[in-house]
């Protein structure tokens, strides 16, 4: 067969790859018929003005890929068994048109706020990444790489590296009075939340949540087939009487709680309510998921011990994260629960991703072991406390100027929950135009709840203002811009 048309481009990839590509395309298009004998390498080399070795390399590549067959003393042939009908004209070759796909559970592509685009960042739970001791952490990683036990780099240890588990257990005992006999290291709390849902929820099961809450948790429950029951909350957190009423009405399987700093209102659930909730859950056979996402950052006093630290019935699944202590991209979270639950969690985790990244786990373990981790925590708690005071001071100044806003200075956390005294539905969009990122109350409801407590748009009066992620100067400038947007008549 005559050589196909081909001209080598000298500024592109290797010429033998270009020639192989041209031959491959000609075969796919039916231009080189299945079973046809190709011109000899010498003929092709002379036709394309190439070295014969270059042509041979291209042919051998196509033999290795299965497009050509080499026959001793006969030359190269297009593989006979290729399902390409060379007798059909090129225009009549089958045209592949993408067919509609049927997804089991269609979801929209996630859109995450590009926070770097905002000049003023009031995102609620973000740490100040610029303050992270990268040099220190680089040393920890480098130390780990220098004396790594290669066995650790294989599969296995689904629940986490023993060094990290040991450090977390010791830390939990020391800082949170939580005696965790075992734990599973997860890809952030999100994986822990999803896995907890996966092992407990069958489609149609009920999960109770605070009416205002962390949307990714409720989406994970819902994706596992849960029907969400919103429970009323007041200025002290989850309303126990409403929980009891819903427990009587629905066979609730899980209760998702953020007791230390309620998300998004930051309220700390009192010991009395914690005990009442625990007793009710025990009575109704409900498992509690305690999401303790920013435990360290408590300013008024020592943080209350987690509910999991006093769990005689073993009904609490305790979930926490390094996303606020380090940064979300570290993807280190963990889950403590009784043995039977952890066995299930490990089995399901293995199906998803086998295990967490080993180097990061060992790096974090080393960082913890040297004491640098807790020094970083102390520094950040002090810094965030001063930033929270600065924000409170600014807000009080606006109150004194007559703006109808109110807030309770939080015992801890990384954000303030501010009642603006006016409707703020739509403020997020106008703030975005001014380079300000903030979250408004409506974002924290779950419209798809079986029992939804979503208020009407006119009742959206709160904003959540994160204070940890930016310095006080930016906070103050951003707040002024925001006040002008929320209260144009007062401040203009």
Ligand X SMILES: Cc1ncc(COP(=O)(O)O)c(C=O)c1O
| Comparison of 105 and 112: residue with beta carbon closer to ligand X | 112
Q: Are 291 and 186 in contact (CB under 8 A)?
A: no
Q: Are 299 and 388 in contact (CB under 8 A)?
A: yes
Among left, alpha and beta (phi > 0; psi -120 to 50; other), residue 440 is beta
Q: Is 323 in the site for ligand X (CB under 6 A)?
A: yes
Stretch that binds ligand X, among 133-141, 320-328, 356-364, 401-409 (CB under 6 A): 320-328
Question: Which is nearest to 485 in space by CA: 434, 415, 438, 421?
Answer: 434
3-state secondary structure of 254: strand
CB of residue 63 to ligand X, shortest distance in Å: 49
Please pick, from the candidates 76, 206, 221, 293, the single residue that binds ligand X as defined by CB under 6 A. 293
Cα-based angle 411, 311, 125 (whole degrees, multiple of 5): 35
Cα-based angle 108, 113, 114 (whole degrees, multiple of 5): 125
Cα-based angle 259, 265, 267 (whole degrees, multiple of 5): 45
Q: Are 414 and 323 in contact (CB under 8 A)?
A: no
CB of residue 430 to ligand X, shortest distance in Å: 24
A 10 A CB-CB count for 406 gives: 12
Among left, alpha and beta (phi > 0; psi -120 to 50; other), residue 128 is beta
The whole-angstrom separation of Cα 24 and Cα 32 is: 9
CB of residue 10 to ligand X, shortest distance in Å: 50
Please pick, from the candidates 56, 328, 383, 392, the single residue that binds ligand X as defined by CB under 6 A. 328
Please pick, from the candidates 3, 306, 333, 413, the single residue that binds ligand X as defined by CB under 6 A. 333
CB of residue 464 to ligand X, shortest distance in Å: 10
98-137 positions binding ligand X, by CB under 6 A:
125
The whole-angstrom separation of Cα 320 and Cα 334 is: 6
| 3-state SS, one letter per residue, for 16-50 | HHHHHHHHHHHHHCCCCCCCCECCCHHHHHHHHCC
Q: Is 383 in the site for ligand X (CB under 6 A)?
A: no
| Comparison of 3 and 413: residue with beta carbon closer to ligand X | 413
3-state secondary structure of 230: strand
Task: List phi, psi (to 5°) of 277.
Answer: -65, -45
The whole-angstrom separation of Cα 112 and Cα 109 is: 10
CB of residue 323 to ligand X, shortest distance in Å: 3
Q: Is 290 in the site for ligand X (CB under 6 A)?
A: no
Q: Is 321 in the site for ligand X (CB under 6 A)?
A: yes
Q: Are 15 and 54 in contact (CB under 8 A)?
A: yes
234-263 positions binding ligand X, by CB under 6 A:
258, 263
The whole-angstrom separation of Cα 352 and Cα 155 is: 13
What is the gyration radius of the CA atoms in the chain, in angstroms? Answer: 30
Q: Is 466 in the site for ligand X (CB under 6 A)?
A: no
Please give the size of the binding site for ligand X, defined by CB under 6 A.
13
Q: Is 291 in the site for ligand X (CB under 6 A)?
A: yes
| Comparison of 13 and 114: residue with beta carbon closer to ligand X | 114
CB of residue 199 to ligand X, shortest distance in Å: 18
| Comparison of 161 and 394: residue with beta carbon closer to ligand X | 161
Q: Is 297 in the site for ligand X (CB under 6 A)?
A: no
CB of residue 258 to ligand X, shortest distance in Å: 5
CB of residue 426 to ligand X, shortest distance in Å: 24
Contact pattern for ligand X over residues 171 through 210, marking x by CB under 6 A: -----------------xxx--------------------
| Comparison of 120 and 263: residue with beta carbon closer to ligand X | 263
| Comparison of 3 and 259: residue with beta carbon closer to ligand X | 259
The whole-angstrom separation of Cα 354 and Cα 23 is: 41
Q: Is 469 in the site for ligand X (CB under 6 A)?
A: no
| Comparison of 86 and 356: residue with beta carbon closer to ligand X | 356
* Closest residue to ligand X: CB criterion: 188
| Comparison of 61 and 212: residue with beta carbon closer to ligand X | 212
Q: Is 214 in the site for ligand X (CB under 6 A)?
A: yes
Binding site for ligand X (CB under 6 A): 125, 188-190, 214, 258, 263, 291, 293, 321, 323, 328, 333
């Amino acid at each position: 067969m005559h050589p196909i048309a081909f001209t080598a481009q000298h500024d592109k990839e290797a010429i033998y790859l270009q020639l192989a590509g041209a031959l491959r395309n000609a075969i796919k298009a039916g231009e080189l018929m299945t079973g046809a004998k190709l011109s000899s390498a010498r003929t092709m080399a002379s036709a394309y003005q190439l070295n014969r070795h270059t042509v041979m390399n291209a042919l051998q590549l196509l033999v290795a890929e299965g497009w050509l067959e080499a026959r001793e003393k006969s030359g190269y042939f297009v593989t006979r068994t290729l399902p390409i009908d060379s007798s059909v004209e090129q225009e009549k070759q089958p045209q592949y048109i993408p067919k509609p796909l049927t997804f089991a559970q269609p979801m929209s592509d996630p859109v995450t706020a590009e926070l770097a685009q905002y000049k003023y960042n009031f995102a609620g739970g973000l740490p100040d990444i610029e303050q992270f001791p990268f040099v220190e952490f680089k040393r920890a990683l480098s130390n780990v790489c220098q004396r790594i036990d290669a066995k650790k780099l294989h599969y296995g240890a689904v629940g986490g590296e023993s060094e990290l588990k040991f450090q977390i257990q010791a830390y939990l005992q020391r800082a949170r009075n939580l005696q965790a006999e075992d734990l599973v290291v997860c890809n952030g709390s999100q994986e822990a939340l999803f896995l907890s849902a996966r092992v407990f929820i069958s489609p149609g099961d009920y999960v109770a949540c605070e009416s205002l809450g962390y949307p990714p948790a409720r989406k994970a429950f819902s994706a596992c087939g849960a029907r969400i029951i919103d429970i009323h909350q007041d200025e002290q957190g989850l309303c126990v009487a409403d929980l009891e009423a819903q427990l009587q009405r629905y066979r609730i399987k899980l209760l998702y709680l953020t007791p230390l700093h309620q998300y998004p209102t930051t309220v700390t659930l009192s010991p009395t309510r914690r005990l009442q909730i625990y007793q009710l859950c025990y009575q109704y056979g409900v498992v509690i998921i305690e999401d303790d996402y920013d435990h360290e950052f408590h300013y008024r006093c020592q943080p209350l011990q987690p509910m999991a630290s006093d769990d005689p019935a073993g009904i609490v699944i305790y979930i926490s994260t390094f996303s606020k202590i380090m940064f979300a991209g570290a993807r280190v979270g963990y889950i403590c629960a009784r043995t039977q639950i952890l066995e299930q969690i490990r089995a399901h985790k293995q199906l998803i991703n086998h295990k967490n990244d080993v180097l990061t786990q060992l790096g974090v373990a080393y960082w913890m072991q040297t004491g640098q981790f807790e020094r970083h925590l102390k520094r950040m708690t002090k810094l965030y406390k001063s930033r929270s005071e600065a924000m409170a001071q600014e807000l009080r100044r606006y109150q004194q100027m007559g703006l109808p806003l109110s807030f309770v200075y939080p015992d801890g956390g990384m954000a303030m929950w501010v009642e603006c005294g006016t409707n703020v539905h739509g403020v997020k969009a106008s703030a975005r135009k001014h380079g300000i990122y903030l979250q408004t109350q409506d974002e924290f409801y779950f419209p798809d709840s079986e029992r939804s407590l979503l208020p009407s748009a006119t009742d959206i009066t709160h904003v959540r203002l994160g204070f940890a992620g930016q310095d006080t100067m930016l906070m103050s400038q951003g707040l002024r811009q925001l006040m002008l947007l929320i209260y144009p008549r007062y401040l203009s």
